[in-house]
Amino acid sequence: MNANTAIPHNPEPDWHAVAALPIVECNQPLQALGLNRALTVHPAYYKLGVPNAIAECYVRSEVFERLLQVTKWLPAGIRLVVLDAWRPFGVQQYLYDSLWDALRDYHPQADTAQLEHLTRQFVSPPSTSRTAPSPHLTGGAVDVSLCDEDGRWLDMGTGFDEASPLSASHYFEQIEQPDEQQIRIRDNRRILYNAMHAAGFSNLPSEWWHYDYGDQLWAWHKGLDAAIYGPSQVQSLDSLWRQQLEKQMQAGQVS
Protein backbone atom coordinates (compact mmCIF):
# COMPACT_ATOMS: atom_id res chain seq x y z
CA MET A 1 0.00 0.00 0.00
CA ASN A 2 1.29 3.45 -0.98
CA ALA A 3 -0.04 5.91 1.61
CA ASN A 4 0.60 8.89 -0.67
CA THR A 5 -1.30 7.72 -3.76
CA ALA A 6 -3.59 10.49 -5.02
CA ILE A 7 -7.29 10.17 -4.20
CA PRO A 8 -9.21 9.59 -7.46
CA HIS A 9 -12.18 11.71 -8.48
CA ASN A 10 -14.99 9.21 -7.94
CA PRO A 11 -18.55 9.81 -9.18
CA GLU A 12 -21.44 10.70 -6.93
CA PRO A 13 -23.49 7.55 -6.22
CA ASP A 14 -26.53 6.74 -8.33
CA TRP A 15 -28.81 6.44 -5.32
CA HIS A 16 -31.59 4.71 -7.20
CA ALA A 17 -29.14 2.06 -8.39
CA VAL A 18 -27.72 1.76 -4.87
CA ALA A 19 -31.17 1.15 -3.37
CA ALA A 20 -32.00 -1.38 -6.10
CA LEU A 21 -29.12 -3.69 -5.21
CA PRO A 22 -30.28 -6.84 -3.42
CA ILE A 23 -29.10 -7.62 0.10
CA VAL A 24 -28.00 -11.15 0.94
CA GLU A 25 -27.80 -10.79 4.71
CA CYS A 26 -24.86 -12.65 6.26
CA ASN A 27 -26.04 -12.13 9.86
CA GLN A 28 -22.72 -10.97 11.26
CA PRO A 29 -23.29 -9.50 14.74
CA LEU A 30 -22.58 -5.96 15.80
CA GLN A 31 -19.47 -5.55 17.92
CA ALA A 32 -18.54 -2.69 20.24
CA LEU A 33 -15.25 -0.93 19.46
CA GLY A 34 -14.64 0.84 22.76
CA LEU A 35 -12.50 -1.85 24.40
CA ASN A 36 -9.99 -2.06 21.56
CA ARG A 37 -6.67 -0.37 22.33
CA ALA A 38 -5.60 0.01 18.71
CA LEU A 39 -8.55 2.31 17.93
CA THR A 40 -9.47 5.69 19.34
CA VAL A 41 -13.24 5.70 19.74
CA HIS A 42 -14.82 9.15 19.99
CA PRO A 43 -18.64 8.89 19.55
CA ALA A 44 -19.11 12.38 18.17
CA TYR A 45 -22.89 12.62 18.23
CA TYR A 46 -23.13 11.44 21.82
CA LYS A 47 -20.54 14.01 22.87
CA LEU A 48 -22.43 16.71 20.95
CA GLY A 49 -25.64 15.84 22.77
CA VAL A 50 -27.55 14.67 19.69
CA PRO A 51 -30.88 13.12 20.82
CA ASN A 52 -30.85 9.30 20.99
CA ALA A 53 -27.09 9.12 20.31
CA ILE A 54 -25.22 6.37 22.17
CA ALA A 55 -21.88 6.39 23.99
CA GLU A 56 -20.38 3.50 21.99
CA CYS A 57 -19.55 2.75 18.36
CA TYR A 58 -20.79 -0.60 17.00
CA VAL A 59 -19.84 -2.22 13.68
CA ARG A 60 -20.31 -5.62 12.10
CA SER A 61 -17.64 -8.14 13.08
CA GLU A 62 -15.96 -8.11 9.66
CA VAL A 63 -15.82 -4.30 9.69
CA PHE A 64 -14.14 -4.52 13.10
CA GLU A 65 -11.43 -6.82 11.73
CA ARG A 66 -10.84 -4.58 8.73
CA LEU A 67 -10.52 -1.50 10.91
CA LEU A 68 -7.81 -3.34 12.83
CA GLN A 69 -6.00 -3.90 9.52
CA VAL A 70 -6.15 -0.17 8.88
CA THR A 71 -4.48 0.60 12.20
CA LYS A 72 -1.54 -1.60 11.22
CA TRP A 73 -1.05 0.19 7.89
CA LEU A 74 -1.08 3.74 9.21
CA PRO A 75 2.32 5.47 9.55
CA ALA A 76 3.98 5.38 12.96
CA GLY A 77 2.54 7.96 15.33
CA ILE A 78 -0.86 8.20 13.59
CA ARG A 79 -4.02 6.70 15.10
CA LEU A 80 -7.39 5.91 13.55
CA VAL A 81 -10.31 7.68 15.24
CA VAL A 82 -13.82 6.23 14.91
CA LEU A 83 -16.36 9.04 15.17
CA ASP A 84 -19.54 7.16 14.34
CA ALA A 85 -20.67 3.76 13.12
CA TRP A 86 -24.06 2.04 13.65
CA ARG A 87 -26.75 4.61 14.45
CA PRO A 88 -30.15 4.35 16.09
CA PHE A 89 -32.94 5.36 13.71
CA GLY A 90 -33.69 8.43 15.83
CA VAL A 91 -30.19 9.79 15.28
CA GLN A 92 -30.46 9.33 11.51
CA GLN A 93 -33.82 11.11 11.51
CA TYR A 94 -32.47 14.00 13.58
CA LEU A 95 -29.41 14.48 11.36
CA TYR A 96 -31.44 14.37 8.15
CA ASP A 97 -34.11 16.77 9.40
CA SER A 98 -31.56 19.19 10.86
CA LEU A 99 -29.53 19.42 7.67
CA TRP A 100 -32.69 19.65 5.52
CA ASP A 101 -33.94 22.58 7.61
CA ALA A 102 -30.57 24.35 7.43
CA LEU A 103 -30.33 23.90 3.66
CA ARG A 104 -33.93 25.09 3.18
CA ASP A 105 -33.07 28.31 5.02
CA TYR A 106 -29.89 28.76 2.99
CA HIS A 107 -31.53 27.86 -0.36
CA PRO A 108 -35.09 29.28 -0.07
CA GLN A 109 -35.72 28.82 -3.80
CA ALA A 110 -34.88 25.11 -3.83
CA ASP A 111 -37.72 22.66 -4.38
CA THR A 112 -38.16 19.33 -2.58
CA ALA A 113 -36.12 17.35 -5.11
CA GLN A 114 -33.23 19.82 -4.93
CA LEU A 115 -33.26 19.82 -1.14
CA GLU A 116 -33.24 16.03 -1.09
CA HIS A 117 -30.26 15.97 -3.46
CA LEU A 118 -28.33 18.50 -1.37
CA THR A 119 -29.16 16.79 1.92
CA ARG A 120 -28.25 13.25 0.92
CA GLN A 121 -24.78 14.36 -0.15
CA PHE A 122 -24.09 14.38 3.59
CA VAL A 123 -26.94 12.47 5.30
CA SER A 124 -28.91 9.55 3.86
CA PRO A 125 -32.70 9.55 4.27
CA PRO A 126 -33.59 7.61 7.43
CA SER A 127 -34.72 4.10 6.59
CA THR A 128 -34.86 0.72 8.30
CA SER A 129 -36.23 -0.93 5.16
CA ARG A 130 -34.95 -4.45 4.61
CA THR A 131 -34.41 -3.63 0.94
CA ALA A 132 -32.91 -0.11 1.22
CA PRO A 133 -31.68 0.79 4.72
CA SER A 134 -29.63 3.87 5.56
CA PRO A 135 -25.94 2.81 5.43
CA HIS A 136 -25.27 3.73 9.07
CA LEU A 137 -28.21 1.59 10.21
CA THR A 138 -26.53 -1.56 8.85
CA GLY A 139 -23.35 -1.52 10.93
CA GLY A 140 -21.29 -1.37 7.73
CA ALA A 141 -20.76 2.41 7.50
CA VAL A 142 -18.12 4.16 9.61
CA ASP A 143 -17.04 7.77 10.01
CA VAL A 144 -13.33 8.05 10.73
CA SER A 145 -10.52 10.55 11.08
CA LEU A 146 -6.89 10.64 12.22
CA CYS A 147 -5.01 11.93 15.26
CA ASP A 148 -1.42 11.76 16.45
CA GLU A 149 -0.28 9.50 19.28
CA ASP A 150 -0.97 12.25 21.83
CA GLY A 151 -4.54 12.75 20.65
CA ARG A 152 -4.06 15.88 18.53
CA TRP A 153 -6.39 15.92 15.52
CA LEU A 154 -4.67 15.87 12.14
CA ASP A 155 -5.76 18.67 9.82
CA MET A 156 -8.24 17.14 7.36
CA GLY A 157 -9.32 20.45 5.82
CA THR A 158 -12.82 20.58 7.35
CA GLY A 159 -14.48 19.46 10.50
CA PHE A 160 -16.36 16.17 10.70
CA ASP A 161 -19.82 16.46 9.12
CA GLU A 162 -19.09 19.87 7.59
CA ALA A 163 -21.60 20.33 4.76
CA SER A 164 -19.18 22.04 2.40
CA PRO A 165 -17.63 21.40 -1.03
CA LEU A 166 -14.27 21.28 0.81
CA SER A 167 -15.44 18.04 2.48
CA ALA A 168 -15.23 16.16 -0.82
CA SER A 169 -12.47 13.57 -0.48
CA HIS A 170 -10.85 14.66 -3.76
CA TYR A 171 -11.11 18.42 -3.17
CA PHE A 172 -7.47 19.17 -2.31
CA GLU A 173 -6.22 16.99 -5.16
CA GLN A 174 -7.64 19.58 -7.59
CA ILE A 175 -5.51 22.49 -6.39
CA GLU A 176 -2.77 23.04 -8.98
CA GLN A 177 -0.36 24.94 -6.76
CA PRO A 178 -1.23 24.01 -3.17
CA ASP A 179 0.39 25.85 -0.30
CA GLU A 180 2.04 24.10 2.63
CA GLN A 181 -1.16 23.71 4.64
CA GLN A 182 -3.11 22.44 1.64
CA ILE A 183 -0.40 19.87 0.94
CA ARG A 184 -0.58 18.71 4.56
CA ILE A 185 -4.37 18.35 4.35
CA ARG A 186 -4.14 16.53 1.02
CA ASP A 187 -1.56 14.10 2.38
CA ASN A 188 -3.55 13.43 5.56
CA ARG A 189 -6.59 12.57 3.47
CA ARG A 190 -4.45 10.33 1.27
CA ILE A 191 -3.17 8.44 4.31
CA LEU A 192 -6.72 7.78 5.51
CA TYR A 193 -8.13 6.99 2.08
CA ASN A 194 -5.40 4.59 1.01
CA ALA A 195 -5.39 2.65 4.28
CA MET A 196 -9.18 2.31 4.29
CA HIS A 197 -9.27 1.43 0.58
CA ALA A 198 -6.57 -1.22 1.05
CA ALA A 199 -8.69 -2.79 3.80
CA GLY A 200 -11.61 -3.16 1.39
CA PHE A 201 -13.70 -0.10 2.28
CA SER A 202 -15.31 2.25 -0.22
CA ASN A 203 -15.52 6.01 0.30
CA LEU A 204 -18.46 8.37 -0.16
CA PRO A 205 -16.91 10.99 -2.49
CA SER A 206 -18.66 13.96 -0.84
CA GLU A 207 -17.33 13.08 2.64
CA TRP A 208 -13.64 12.43 3.37
CA TRP A 209 -14.64 10.76 6.67
CA HIS A 210 -17.32 8.31 5.46
CA TYR A 211 -16.42 4.73 4.51
CA ASP A 212 -18.51 1.64 3.86
CA TYR A 213 -18.10 -2.11 3.89
CA GLY A 214 -20.81 -4.69 3.23
CA ASP A 215 -23.74 -2.31 2.69
CA GLN A 216 -25.44 -1.34 -0.58
CA LEU A 217 -23.29 1.76 -1.06
CA TRP A 218 -20.15 -0.39 -0.79
CA ALA A 219 -21.58 -2.94 -3.24
CA TRP A 220 -22.38 -0.18 -5.75
CA HIS A 221 -18.89 1.35 -5.53
CA LYS A 222 -17.27 -2.07 -5.85
CA GLY A 223 -19.45 -3.13 -8.79
CA LEU A 224 -20.85 -6.13 -6.91
CA ASP A 225 -24.18 -7.84 -7.49
CA ALA A 226 -25.38 -7.67 -3.89
CA ALA A 227 -24.72 -6.25 -0.46
CA ILE A 228 -24.22 -8.47 2.59
CA TYR A 229 -25.50 -6.14 5.33
CA GLY A 230 -29.11 -5.10 5.80
CA PRO A 231 -30.55 -3.15 8.73
CA SER A 232 -29.18 -4.21 12.10
CA GLN A 233 -29.91 -3.53 15.73
CA VAL A 234 -27.96 -3.49 18.97
CA GLN A 235 -29.45 -6.22 21.11
CA SER A 236 -31.40 -4.96 24.13
CA LEU A 237 -31.34 -6.68 27.51
CA ASP A 238 -35.02 -7.52 27.12
CA SER A 239 -34.48 -9.29 23.78
CA LEU A 240 -31.44 -11.12 25.19
CA TRP A 241 -33.46 -12.44 28.13
CA ARG A 242 -36.25 -13.54 25.82
CA GLN A 243 -33.82 -15.39 23.58
CA GLN A 244 -32.28 -17.13 26.58
CA LEU A 245 -35.69 -18.12 27.94
CA GLU A 246 -36.76 -19.39 24.52
CA LYS A 247 -33.66 -21.61 24.35
CA GLN A 248 -34.34 -22.91 27.85
CA MET A 249 -37.96 -23.66 26.92
CA GLN A 250 -36.86 -25.57 23.83
CA ALA A 251 -34.39 -27.53 25.94
CA GLY A 252 -37.09 -28.34 28.50
CA GLN A 253 -35.35 -26.39 31.27
CA VAL A 254 -38.29 -24.08 32.03
CA SER A 255 -41.74 -25.39 32.93
Q: How many domains, in total, are found in the chain?
A: 1
Task: Give the pLDDT score at 237.
Answer: 60
Lowest-confidence segment of 125-129, 131-135, 201-205, 242-246 by average pLDDT: 242-246
Instruction: Say if 5 falls within a structural domain.
Output: no
Question: pLDDT tens digits for 51-64?
Answer: 999 999 999 999 99
Its domain, for residue 135, covers 15-250
Task: Give the pLDDT score at 245.
Answer: 74
CA-wise closest residue to 161 among 181, 188, 136, 178: 136
**Would you say residue 243 has pLDDT above 80?**
no
We report the CATH number of the domain holding residue 22 as 3.30.1380.10
Task: Give the pLDDT score at 201.
Answer: 98
Instruction: Say if 150 falls within a structural domain.
Output: yes
CA dist., res. 94 & res. 87, Å (int)? 11
Quick one: pLDDT band at residue 41, thresholds 50, 70, 90? very high
Residues 186-203: what's their mean pLDDT? 98
Instruction: Say if 7 falls within a structural domain.
Output: no
Task: Give the pLDDT score at 6.
Answer: 97
**Would you say residue 236 has pLDDT above 70?**
no
CA dist., res. 204 & res. 182, Å (int)? 21
136 annotated to bind ligand: yes
Instruction: Say if 1 falls within a structural domain.
Output: no
Question: pLDDT tens digits for 12-39?
Answer: 999 999 999 999 999 999 999 999 999 9
* Alpha-carbon distances of 35 from 40, 64, 193, rounded to whole Å: 10, 12, 24
pTM for this model (two decimals): 0.91
Instruction: Say if 8 falls within a structural domain.
Output: no
User: How, if at all, do strands 78-84 and 40-41 pair?
Assistant: parallel
Instruction: Say if 100 falls within a structural domain.
Output: yes
Instruction: Say if 171 falls within a structural domain.
Output: yes
* Alpha-carbon distances of 224 from 24, 96, 171, 178, 216, rounded to whole Å: 12, 28, 27, 36, 9
Question: pLDDT tens digits for 98-111?
Answer: 887 888 887 888 88
197 annotated to bind ligand: no
CA dist., res. 197 & res. 203, Å (int)? 8
Task: Give the pLDDT score at 118.
Answer: 81
CA dist., res. 145 & res. 108, Å (int)? 33
Task: Give the pLDDT score at 104.
Answer: 86
Percentage of the chain lying above the pLDDT 70 cut: 96
Percentage of the chain lying above the pLDDT 90 cut: 76
Instruction: Say if 103 falls within a structural domain.
Output: yes
**Would you say residue 254 has pLDDT above 60?**
no
Active site residue 56: no
Question: pLDDT tens digits for 130-185?
Answer: 999 999 999 999 999 999 999 999 999 999 999 899 999 999 999 999 999 999 99
| Per annotation, catalytic residue among 12, 56, 176, 207 | 207
